[in-house]
Amino acid sequence: VIDSHCHLADEAFAGDLDEVVARAMAAGLRSALCVLSMGEPGELARARRVAALWPDAGFAIGAHPHQAHDVAMGVAQLQAAVRTAAAGVERLLAIGEIGLDYHYDLSPRDVQREVFAAQVALARDMGRPVVVHTREAEADTREILEAHGPNPLDGVLHCFTGSAEMAAWAVGAGLHVSFAGIVTFPGAQALRDVARTVPVERLLVETDCPYLAPVPFRGKRNEPAHVTRVIEVLAVARGMRADVLAAEVEQNFDRLFGRDRRPVPGSQRPEEGQARRS
Ligand SMILES: [Zn+2]
Ligand SMILES: [Zn+2]
């Protein structure tokens, strides 16, 4: 089992991180992708604790759409800043989370688009997958990924809550689709129906913790161990055994982010990218 998207370096875990990681391991989690925000020294310091406590966890870093206004500095400068932030992260697997959030609109939309596009292009140049956050912004998300990403696209739409049409586009374009605790909510039948349409080899699961705890932990702090609930619910929705689905999802994670990662056509291997001077 793998939690493909969590915020373990969030302040919410500062007090009992070792117990949270121990519970994740006891629940059978082999690895997790721990997502970090750029420009937050406290979070980076806590990330080093996560890395020490959980040697198989990997990391992603990027400028979230909510913080786009803080990093609006021109494309080249922003790309340089993300590159520098990424170079400071141990076991970097991806650039993210990046994207568009037109639900909260915490940054002006044109700024969100600019910051997203710059990071999609950077990830392509670095040969890294992207972790995409998209909310009520399907058309613009597609357009930017198609215009600035590699072909086929390389990454995941995280915490997917979109339409069946958007999921089908993502799969056709080469992306993975990841479901979080929302899929366990009683009112989420439409989302479970969408989840059934995603081919199993493109499916990922996540907690997005500390947010979005699944049933029956709703309203409490979420943690990576609870990803097993997401798997159980998806397995029922798809008419599969939970352990079979968990094994499939683990393979998908390894193919996208980890040890079985395919080289991205037209881009450099990550190791070469790191060594390059520019
Ligand atoms: Zn997100
Ligand atoms: Zn997140």
Kindly identify the ligand whose nearest atom is closest to the C-alpha of 207: 2
Q: DSSP class of residue 37?
A: E
Tell me how far the alpha carbon of residue 277 lies from the centroid of ligand 1, in angstroms: 32
* Count of residues in the chain: 278
Tell me how far the alpha carbon of residue 277 lies from the centroid of ligand 2, in angstroms: 31
Contact by Cβ (8 Å): 157, 144: no
Q: Tell me the residue type at 57.
A: A
Tell me how far the alpha carbon of residue 158 lies from the centroid of ligand 1, in angstroms: 6
Beta strands in the chain, from DSSP E residues, in sequence order: 2-6, 31-37, 58-62, 92-101, 130-135, 155-157, 176-179, 203-205
Tell me how far the alpha carbon of residue 5 lies from the centroid of ligand 2, in angstroms: 6
* pLDDT profile of the chain (278 residues), mean per 10: 98 97 97 94 95 96 92 90 94 97 94 97 97 97 98 97 97 98 97 97 98 93 98 97 97 90 51 41
Residue pointed to by tokens 């002006």? 108
Contact by Cβ (8 Å): 107, 68: yes
Q: Is 170 helix (H, G, I), strand (E, B) or coil?
A: helix
- Supply the pLDDT for residue 88: 93
**Distance (Å, rounded) from C-alpha 98 to C-alpha 49?**
24
Cα–chain-centroid distance for residue 210? Answer: 14
Smallest Cα–Cα separation from 31: which of 60, 5, 62? 5
